[in-house]
Structure 1
Amino acid sequence: MWARELGFSQIGVAGVDLSSSEAGLSAWLERGFHGDMGYMASHGLKRARPAELVPGTVSVITARMDYLPASTPDNWPTVEFDRLQRPTEGIVSVYARGRDYHKVLRARLQKLSDRIAELLGPFGHRVFTDSAPVLEAELAARSGQGWRGKHTLLLSRDAGSTFFLGEIYVDLALPLSEPVAAHCGSCTACIDICPTQAIVAPHRLDARRCISYLTIEHAGPIPLELRPLIGNRIYGCDDCQLICPWNKFAQRSALPDFDERKGLAGSQLATLFAWTEEEFLRFTEGSPIRRIGHERWLRNIAVALGNARQKENPVEDEALCVTLRSRADHPSEVLREHIAWALGL
């Protein structure tokens, strides 16, 4: 009841022995699939050892929070796929169109911890939301929140994959939740649709090819061969979720925090490319987008503008070129190079 009052959809409890996950984690890192997310390698196996990360941890409370805006239509995957067919429209991943989920979940996980303390007395704990070396999806799967899909995301029969995960590491011995069986069967829709073929095998993602990684985590030049495949996606990518049959059960959020902000859905690339740094900071205040910074934002849009040029007629193409040339003398060498590529220079 407490969890639902705070906006969570499901709570579970996992143990701290994740040793069976260590070999897979090590192999993923050894292959360099983490790209330039150096923190993944620096933390090493601590990610699979909760009691090392927070000494004294005995159990992990996991929480799931749905994020689709309340106004989301039933045919939302079709709506989102249609956006990809409008090349001059900038596409921001659905989860990032509202308030920064890190802030929302952390605050509410802490409130849940406070309520538990009121009932049981003071206890050692620490809350996490995609903010530390934590095997979130693995802990969630072990605590009955769902199963790992072939795209590596967690899937629930009741909610698809459109939810955030959070954890409370506690020094309490709590009854463990039962895991659930996997229900992907022979389906490979997520693997087949990935624009860059980043899902190199079931349950194995090469982040270096993933559009979400390239547009959010990767700070340098985007590899030339991958730029045309990004299309008009300027922050993240939802394709593997949009195609997943289980997302017909995706749930709307009970919170207004994840409602779409003006400008982050349906805006033209030219409009977004014209944002000054001050405007970028203002329009993305409290948004997860803000952390990539203005330069990376412009880099992503430059790629999308270059891709749009390949699909538009000569009149519209000239307008796109004018937009790109407006920042041709930007102080960032990385941005100038992407603009030159977009202009075909």
Structure 2
Amino acid sequence: MTQQTFLLQPKVSEVLNNINKVMIGKEEAALLSLVALLAKGHVLLEDVPGVGKTMLVKTLAKSLDCDFKRIQFTPDLLPSDVTGVSIYNPKTMEFEFRPGPILGNIVLADEINRTSPKTQSALLEGMEETSITVDGSPVPLSDPFFVMATQNPIEYEGTYPLPEAQLDRFLLKMKMGYPSAKQEMEMLARTSGSHPIHSISSVITKDELVGLQKEVEEVYVDKTVNRYIIELTTGTRNQSGVYLGVSPRGSIALMKAAKAYAFIHDRDYVVPDDVQYLAPYVLSHRMILTSEARFEGRTAEDIIEELISSTSIPVKRNISE
């Protein structure tokens, strides 16, 4: 879908300006990352190495005055390396909890598909439950809590693909893509000296971010727009070429993402265009296609675009409801 162009919410605009100083031609990826952050969701970035996945997360984290943690996933990483571990202190004769990196506010899960499913589950539990289990006891996570996970395509050797049930934990999934030749030339010019990421500073405090997230929750969604969301998600369950359609969790995710997208564009209400633009990013990774559809070269994004084209769009906002 074509991205809309509207006046941006002031604080969000400052963050995007920071990211654009470091990243070239990644405006859409930056915007979608902020959609997930403000909607209290999480992002999965999937693309080949070297296109700026990690740099995007680092730049976003540096723009926010929050506790940033990075987890480099490797095949030998243990769940306790993610959640933390209790260590016996002989002086106090007690066990002391040493928190893991998941206890940060902004967590970069780098190359999540290079670690074992057991370790992946330690991160995904926190993403879903906003708490982790250590020695049988729940430990609440920080507020705000936001995960941006990166992964290389599953065709690469030595990877552990995320199961569909775990992919469903991410609010949206996106790709970065290669820059154009012109953008790559500008990239070389910018990085010939000191890297531009060193020149940016935080523009949103932790309390401000929490406040923005609360404002997003107050964005109005008309019943007709909610009905439109449900028509799209239920349509995936009856579409030819789809083995497993989008679950009700996907409907909730699309509504929350649309509210954040509307807020970013300085609106206090959601319009159908918001839903249309976000649907491929929010719904595609929640679908499983049949082998016949994959053989024909169809993608989940193609099916969602077909659904959008064939589904009636609500044209009137009923303020009285």
Give your verdict on TM over 0.5.
Answer: no
TM-score normalised according to structure 1 size: 0.23
Structure in which a larger fraction of residues adopt strand: 2
TM-score normalised according to structure 2 size: 0.24
